[in-house]
Amino acid sequence: MKKRKLKCPYFILLVLTSVLFGCIYIIKGNIFDTFITGESNRSRDIASISGNSVLGNATGGQQSVSDNNVSGVSVSQNSSEKIVLNTEVAVKKYLSGTLFIGDSRTVTIKEYAGWEEAHFFVKNGLTVWDVLEEKIAEYNGEQITVDEALQKQKFERIYIMLGINELGRGTPETFAEKYRQVVERIKQLQPDAVIIVEAIMHVTKEKDEEQTYINNAEINARNEKIREMAGYAGVSWLDVNQVMDDAESHCLVSEYSFDGVHLKVKYLDIWKEFLLENPF
């Protein structure tokens, strides 16, 4: 009997070769995928570590000094860059874009701080009830209202300290509501400015003990309301009382004031340094 020759031997060889190369391809593909996946995960881990480190540094620069009382610094309007005022040039540039609005206490800053670059809309006896209508802003040699001036000139930041003259008028709630209206109007006129509401500075223990309407209990009640208002309005809060108060009495240090309310010029540097150490 003759042996039958195998048909299509080349076809079988081709099939075996294809299977072999297919296996090699699959094995190499898995190894390559594993390598790529591992590198990708490692990259994500590195990025995560770097991101957490950067975030920690960024958020660590600005935090609330106090969340449970009316003292401290709380920031609602955040900047992507932390401001550092470590040179005279930096301070002058910072002040050149800064406006201070306030009563007789801030008048002292204008007259004796030596901050020629800063802008001031200030007046003795100024209150939240009349601040926007008072003609205390100078523009092109003309005295115009604060409201008008804020429509004509733009500022990077605006500090507001009002409240000592409002004691004895209305309630903490009505005072805070009027203050809110003033802040909202300023926000409307200065949408790019950082607005900083400053707490009402305390009076001395001797002044407090006179038991008049000018007392620290009323100041604290109003500070609490405007601190809450600042949070609702999305503006910043700054309280100088933490460096001006006596540690035991929580009143303005008696030595710092000549009348129980206003600062002596020689102690003005404490307030100045506090403002520059907590920039916005």
The pLDDT value recorded for residue 15 is: 54
Q: 224 to each of 6, 249, 251, how far by Cα in Å?
A: 100, 18, 16
**SS3 per-residue string spanning 179-207:** HHHHHHHHHHHCCCCEEEEECCCCCEHHH
Nearest CA to 78 out of 188, 196, 161 is that of 196
The pLDDT value recorded for residue 90 is: 96
The pLDDT value recorded for residue 77 is: 55
For the full predicted model, state whether its pTM sits above 0.85.
Answer: no
What is the distance of C-alpha 67 from the center of its chain?
14
Return the CATH class of domain 62-277.
alpha beta
The amino acid at residue 75 is V
The pLDDT value recorded for residue 35 is: 40
Q: What is the pLDDT of residues 90-138, one digit of tens each?
A: 999 999 999 999 999 999 999 999 999 999 999 999 999 999 999 999 9
Lookup: tokens for 168: 């004895």
Helix (H/G/I), strand (E/B), else coil: 276: helix
The pLDDT value recorded for residue 56 is: 31
The pLDDT value recorded for residue 18 is: 61
The pLDDT value recorded for residue 82 is: 82
Point out the residues of the chain with pLDDT beneath 70.
1-71, 74-81
The pLDDT value recorded for residue 14 is: 57
Q: Are 153 and 189 in contact (CB under 8 A)?
A: no
CA distance 85 to 213: 39
